[in-house]
Structure 1
Amino acid sequence: MRIRLTIDGHSVDAAWNDSATARDFAALLPLSLDLDDFQNTERVADLPRTLSTDGAPASSEPKAGDLAFYAPWGNLALFYRDGHPSPGLVILGHLTDRDDITRLADADHVRIQPAS
């Protein structure tokens, strides 16, 4: 599945995995979210509801460019730096162009929709 993110007015493509959590997230689209920085590693945003984590691993180690759901807080995380193993973190997909990762570091807003 392909997803299009518009980060502060710039279009960025992402490849989504086929997990139950990613499919549940896709059902929410399109979404417009305000972003906040977290630990100088990721941009985060609250989601309108909790996502399914059926079949998800207990923990994930995010890499720069990963998009993830953090189940304990119910938020979306967009990583612009590598993170640490995190219980409850479910990787949803990743940016397809690694050069777009730098856009995440200062992003204030993202719109997410299915790619056409």
Structure 2
Amino acid sequence: MTIPTSRDFVALLPLTVKMDDYSNTEKIFYPSRKLSTQHAPAGFDPSVGDITWYAPWGNVALFYKDFGYSRGLISLGKITSGIEAFTVNGSITVTFELVAE
């Protein structure tokens, strides 16, 4: 089952954004609009490569280090290769696009 949060994110794609480093654990950006939290779980335990929506702050986060469970964090998807590009210091420019398998 796809939750509305993921559908809202996919509707923004393709999307090129500047992602800022947060806490040496994740890269974040604020999309042009809030994503739905309808039918979303209370929280999520992200691992390396997870793309998430942090509803309390309204930002998308991509985790390049493991992190613990957080209330308000919703999984949007996962990158399967290239995570090393996110481990650099500072901000990076990223293009999100849907790739059919």
Q: Could you state the TM-score of these two structures normalised by the residue count of structure 1? A: 0.78
Pair 1:36 & 2:20 matched: yes
For structure 2, the residue ranges without an aligned partner over 5 or more in a row are: none
How far does residue 115 in structure 1 lie from its aligned partner after superposition?
2.1
Pair 1:63 & 2:43 matched: no
Question: Deviations for 1:23-45, whole angstroms, at most 9, x for unmatched residues?
Answer: 11111112111011111100001
Secondary structure of residue in 1 paired with 2:7: helix
Q: Could you state the TM-score of these two structures normalised by the residue count of structure 2? A: 0.89
Structure 2 distance, partners of 1:93, 1:19, is 11
Structure 2 distance, partners of 1:101, 1:62, is 14
The residue number in structure 2 matching 1:88 is: 72
Structure 2 distance, partners of 1:94, 1:29, is 15
The residue number in structure 2 matching 1:103 is: 85
Higher strand share: 1
Question: Deviations for 1:11-60, whole angstroms, at most 9, x for unmatched residues?
Answer: xxxxxx82221111111112111011111100001110000011111111
Secondary structure of residue in 1 paired with 2:97: strand
The residue number in structure 2 matching 1:73 is: 57
Indicate which of 20, 34, 38 corresponds to 1:50.
34
Flag as ranges the 4+ runs of structure 1 deviating above 4 A. Answer: none
The residue number in structure 2 matching 1:8 is: none
